[in-house]
Chain A
Amino acid sequence: MKHETLATILFLVFVAGTLAITFWASRNTKTATDYYAGGRSFSGVQNGLAIGGDYMSAASFLGIAGIIALSGYDGFLYSIGFLVAWLVALLLVAELMRNSGKFTMADVLAFRMSPRPVRTAAGVSTIVVSIFYLLAQMVGAGALVGLLLGITSQSGKVWTIIAVGLLMVIYVVIGGMKGTTWVQIVKAVMLMTGAALVTLLVLGKFGFNLSSLLGDAATQSGKGDAFLNAGLKYGTEAQGVWGKIDLISLGLALVLGTAGLPHILIRFYTVPTARDARKSVLWGIGIIGVFYLLTLVLGFGAAAVVGSEKIAAANAAGNTAAPQLAEAIGADIFGEVGGTILLAVIAAVAFATILAVVAGLTLASSSSFAHDLYAHVFKRGQVTDKEEVRVARIAAFVIGAIAIALAIPAQSLNVAFLVALAFAVAASGNLPAILYSLFWKRFNTAGAVSAIYGGLISALILVIFSPAVSGAKTAMFPDVDFHLIELSNPGIFSIPIGFLCGYLGTIFSKEYNASKYAEIEVRSLTGVGMEKASEH
């Protein structure tokens, strides 16, 4: 049997299994709390797994392994920002949000502010961030499935994108948060198992001697010692000082962006108490940390076992490094059949990864549309739960359709930078608004609106005039050149701008509500009046 056939079968089993779970989840999805927050009935451990499933995208699984396989250490450097970021979520955001919010990021902001402008800003930012991220994932899915299943025709890729889009919409529309969470849990278990298995085989091959694995990787990469140090991909010596500042800018966006990503924030609402939210982040940190350590071995292992040249020949970005490694190491240890099976398993895991992440993004953006924009801005809160959930389901359909429609023409463009941009916008607009809201007594409506729009718009403008969009071979539009700045990552400027806008907006407005701040502070720290889990 060819690996494509086996991978397709495994993938269909995953789809069938998760669809069954989704339909099962839909029977218990009746109220708005069920749809948006899975009835707040998940345990800390379950939500911790789902956090891992939501967060470890194909970009981080295949992408980081690929960067390490081709550029060595820089991929590891990238993954560290993704992990350390969780401390911001753990120490400053998760529990306080769980205690003071309900369904979306905007709930916390709107608590003591004028709800309509704040919800509008937060809703716009949620949808923009989620669509950027979604687009990057869907374009990646088209390319990836093509590579793994040997679908090379253009129409094959288009159908892949459509299929991924349809599946994510089905998970979200039918299963709501409950279905989506279970898809993420199943995917996290599959991903961890698959990655751990290949890692063990690789380490076994090198007698569990990391030094000899690194030595072989450096040799096989053809780059020598430089392969084990920073600077082959980000902030290369050839790019000079701006390149290095760009690296720091990327690092800032990664470490501060996670706690402002809407699809991550809504995960904290799926557990019954703030203590469970804390526990789920602790589990998430454990899972994500171990996963990136496995990825380190996978990436260097791919370079050592497969060789960088062969990986780059299959895909210029190295996205197939992990599957290629699985095939090589399987064949090496169990013979050719072993290689085929292992490759198929890892390919199926990669599909599962994509589906779980895009479902989370679709849910976050459609929830925010229905709860923030429709129910509170258009209808001023005069709407029943039932109608709100109906609008959320329609919004999921529409967002899915928009994502498909944008992803198809974007296939030929380099949109990998959109993930980093989503982190930058989250760090520059959402995070200042959330932190000020939770910790600054004086903060007000003008401050919240200024922080979100200031961070969002400055990040977007900086990126539009950056080498990520034009004027470089790797740009989104390589044939034109209107770049004005040398930084591809806006964070180093846009994050301070977001915080500054929030500060200035606040002090230039007289609005100030001491009693509401007293309420949110007491609620966020003690859990008084928190939203309860639904009873069934």
Chain B
Amino acid sequence: MTVQHDSSVYEEMQASEQFQELRRRYRSWAFPMTVAFLAWYLLYVVLSGFARGFMGTKLLGEINVALVFGVLQFVSTFLIAWAYSRHAAGKLDPLADELRAQVEEKTQ
């Protein structure tokens, strides 16, 4: 096999359907999720500033909405991190490995 010049290999790979699929799988998960957790966090901060009556509502003993909302931010962060690692391991890593092998074959 002839060794191709680097940059044309990358452009070819970038244009390939498989790479576009990898890119789509990554972006279509990471981008909306980023918007979602930022919105969820901002909602929490805005309510902490402007809706203190609501946040102060007691739910169980001394535990109020503010505390539960705050703990839910921890829970959502842990869940999103876990979900991303599942998504990446299942949908991104195998395809990324395959494409990396293809490029390495052409450049080495």
In the complex, the answer to whether A515 meets B73 with C-beta atoms within 8 Å is: no
Of A80, A90, A210, A439, which is within 8 A of B44 by CB? A80
A-B contact pairs, 20 of them (CB 8 A): A77-B70, A80-B74, A84-B77, A87-B77, A87-B81, A92-B30, A228-B64, A231-B49, A235-B49, A247-B45, A252-B42, A255-B41, A278-B88, A281-B81, A282-B82, A439-B27, A518-B14, A519-B7, A521-B14, A529-B107
Of A83, A245, A252, A523, which is within 8 A of B73 by CB? A83
Q: Give the interface centre of B22, B61, B70, B107 by most chain A CB atoms within 10 Å.
A: B70
Q: How many Å lie between the Cα of A231 and that of B7 in the bound state? A: 55
Q: Is A86 an interface residue (CB 8 A)?
A: yes
Known: A90-B84, A231-B49. 9 other contacts (CB 8 A): A81-B41, A87-B37, A91-B33, A91-B84, A228-B67, A235-B48, A282-B85, A439-B27, A519-B10
In the complex, the answer to whether B63 meets A230 with C-beta atoms within 8 Å is: no
In the complex, the answer to whether B38 meets A526 with C-beta atoms within 8 Å is: no
Q: Is B17 an interface residue (CB 8 A)?
A: no
Min distance, Cβ B64 to any Cβ of chain A, angstroms: 6
Of B48, B63, B77, which is within 8 A of A83 by CB? B77
B23: nearest chain-A partner, CB-CB = A525
> Which residues from B are CB-within-8-Å of A86?
77, 81
Of A212, A278, A514, which is within 8 A of B62 by CB? A212
Q: How many Å lie between the Cα of A15 and that of B55 in the bound state? A: 45
Q: How many Å lie between the Cα of A278 and that of B41 in the bound state? A: 22
In the complex, the answer to whether A528 meets B103 with C-beta atoms within 8 Å is: yes
The dominant DSSP class at the A interface is helix
The A124-163 residues at the B interface (CB cut-off 8 A) are none
In the complex, the answer to whether A248 meets B42 with C-beta atoms within 8 Å is: yes
Q: How many Å lie between the Cα of A252 and that of B38 in the bound state? A: 9
Q: How many Å lie between the Cα of A400 and that of B97 in the bound state? A: 43
Which of A25-33, A54-62, A165-173, A285-293 sits within the interface?
Answer: A285-293
Q: How many Å lie between the Cα of A214 and that of B71 in the bound state? A: 14
In the complex, the answer to whether A211 meets B78 with C-beta atoms within 8 Å is: no
Min distance, Cβ A434 to any Cβ of chain B, angstroms: 14
Q: Is A11 an interface residue (CB 8 A)?
A: no
Q: Is B3 an interface residue (CB 8 A)?
A: no
Q: Give the interface centre of B14, B26, B37 by most chain A CB atoms within 10 Å.
A: B14
In the complex, the answer to whether A229 meets B66 with C-beta atoms within 8 Å is: yes
Residues A526 and B11 in contact in the complex (CB < 8 Å), given A228-B56, A247-B49, A289-B78: no
The A232-251 residues at the B interface (CB cut-off 8 A) are 235, 244-245, 247-248, 251
The interface of chain B, by Cβ under 8 A from chain A, is: 6-8, 10-11, 13-14, 19, 22-23, 26-27, 30, 33-34, 37-38, 41-42, 44-46, 48-50, 52, 55-56, 60-64, 66-67, 70-71, 73-74, 77-78, 80-82, 84-85, 88, 93, 96-97, 99-100, 103-104, 107
> Which residues from A are CB-within-8-Å of B30?
91-92
> Which residues from B are CB-within-8-Å of A87?
34, 37, 77, 80-81
The A179-238 residues at the B interface (CB cut-off 8 A) are 210-212, 214-215, 218, 225-226, 228-231, 235
Min distance, Cβ B42 to any Cβ of chain A, angstroms: 7
Of A84, A235, A279, A527, which is within 8 A of B37 by CB? A84
Of B10, B22, B85, B107, which is within 8 A of A278 by CB? B85
A515: nearest chain-B partner, CB-CB = B7
> Which residues from B are CB-within-8-Å of A279?
85
In the complex, the answer to whether A289 meets B10 with C-beta atoms within 8 Å is: no
> Which residues from A are CB-within-8-Å of B48?
77, 230-231, 235, 247
A80: nearest chain-B partner, CB-CB = B73
In the complex, the answer to whether A90 meets B104 with C-beta atoms within 8 Å is: no
Min distance, Cβ A134 to any Cβ of chain B, angstroms: 28
Q: How many Å lie between the Cα of A298 and that of B42 in the bound state? A: 26
> Which residues from B are CB-within-8-Å of A310?
none
The A62-87 residues at the B interface (CB cut-off 8 A) are 73, 76-77, 80-81, 83-84, 86-87
